[in-house]
Structure 1
């Protein structure tokens, strides 16, 4: 229970990594604010968080909207009085298609949600953390933010942007008590990966085979890394892009 009396905000918390992260924070004693565009699944996450022993506020929010993000952070502080940790996890994979076939609509939607949305979350989260004397932010990026992946140019660009944004913010606020890091998951068993490669396909098997551990990761394995990066156990860690990828990037 190393996070008693701390307040954590998790976006994209209706399923997958976001849900697992909210539960992991709750088990360490934090109180939670969770958000997503899927209100029903978000309520399911809220119930799981309560079962883990935490108070939780669930808010429907679209992170492509600055006003909704501003309201989300304001309601967090109104409810709990502070903001200590944030996991900016919400994102989409977009449509598949090589660079010359990527549509303007797909490009704009992916960048608006993944990159601009992460920046806007940080913009308002940091402002509140400065008032409270510090905090920790973890942005969920991807191994696609470290290398190229053919067929998803908008997604790859958005995740590379998140990594650059993470490093920049870490430098800007290192002296003011705010640490900013990113996690770059490999293939994790989530609804997004099911949409990307299907549930029982050769493409899925090939993706798994590219991971030296020979399996996909679990959302809980990413969640534990998020909690560690936010904790005092990682007090000298900032500006890092941590690959949680079963050895993918070591090849």
Structure 2
């Protein structure tokens, strides 16, 4: 869809039904609040349904439209059921922000266990593959947009999080393949690649390996980490009609750290 006039819509995502995974905290929670404020009817998914219910309550109290569904990103059947439920809530699906991620215990390549590699594959790669296929099945009738959350760690060497970085790099590849595959059907697929972001996962990494946050500051030309909302803003734009000619992009949101 293109918009050739210069009018300003009521909201960047006005009238869109958008599904968000990993919505109980961090970037996902920020996206839930932002997308709703920009006019989207959001369906939030995560394992922590208590946290989701609180966010849904906040959004509704502010006049927004929000619902919650449980999902386990390690379970393909659960992902399919959550996407199907999101489609049922509003009778369609216009956008999806596949944001859930599994953190890796920091460690070297040789110390990374098979169990950790499998977990990274399941949540940071296969879950996105499964979700995209389910989402596209609902978007075919009217087009849509998908945004996956990748990482700066998927764009360059990641010696302390090697399995995490490898799966994020794989995610970049399937994002690009999906974009080419589904463009003729009016479905755009992009990814965002955040650098250091002030989330609970980053705090957990810093506790496990003290100095991670300080190192992020030092490696980022802007001298700070991103706030979750700053990352969500980029996802919102990619899901909107203003990004109508953007597909197959892996957009850095890293304060220049990857430049």
TM-score range, shorter chain: over 0.9
| Partner residue in 1 for 2:130 | 120
Q: CA deviation at 1:133?
A: 2.0
Match of 1:54 among 64, 76, 100: 64
Match of 1:191 among 197, 200, 215: 200
**Aligned-CA RMSD value:** 1.4
Give the distance between the partners of 1:7 and 1:159, measured in 2 at CA.
Answer: 26
TM-score, normalised on structure 2?
A: 0.93
Cα pair 2:12 2:236 within 8 Å, conserved = no
Match of 2:222 among 213, 216, 231: 213
| Partner residue in 1 for 2:8 | none
Q: CA deviation at 1:23?
A: 1.0
Cα deviations by residue, 1:29-52 (Å, 9 ceiling, x for unpaired)? 110110111122122221232234
| Higher mean displacement: 145-154 or 188-197 | 145-154
| Partner residue in 1 for 2:232 | 223
Moved over 6 A (4+): none
| Higher mean displacement: 33-42 or 185-194 | 33-42
Cα pair 2:226 2:255 within 8 Å, conserved = yes
Cα pair 2:69 2:86 within 8 Å, conserved = no
| Higher mean displacement: 114-123 or 90-99 | 90-99
| Higher mean displacement: 180-189 or 68-77 | 68-77
Report SS of the residue matched to 2:251.
strand
| Higher helix proportion (structure 1 or 2) | 1
CA gap of 1:153–1:201, structure 2 versus 1, over 3 A, is closer
Report SS of the residue matched to 1:93.
coil
Cα pair 1:2 1:231 within 8 Å, conserved = yes
Give the distance between the partners of 1:248 and 1:173, measured in 2 at CA.
Answer: 31
| Partner residue in 2 for 1:96 | 106
Q: CA deviation at 1:246?
A: 0.5
Q: Which runs of 5+ in 1 are unaligned?
A: none
* 2:180 pairs with 1:171: yes
Cα deviations by residue, 1:153-184 (Å, 9 ceiling, x for unpaired)? 11011100110010000000111100000000
Cα deviations by residue, 1:164-222 (Å, 9 ceiling, x for unpaired)? 01000000011110000000000000000001113994332122111000001000101
| Partner residue in 2 for 1:73 | 83
Cα deviations by residue, 1:77-100 (Å, 9 ceiling, x for unpaired)? 211100000000001112222111
Report SS of the residue matched to 2:223.
coil
TM-score, normalised on structure 1?
A: 0.95
Question: Alignment length, in residue pairs?
Answer: 249
Cα pair 2:106 2:209 within 8 Å, conserved = no
| Partner residue in 2 for 1:149 | 158
Give the distance between the partners of 1:200 and 1:109, measured in 2 at CA.
Answer: 20
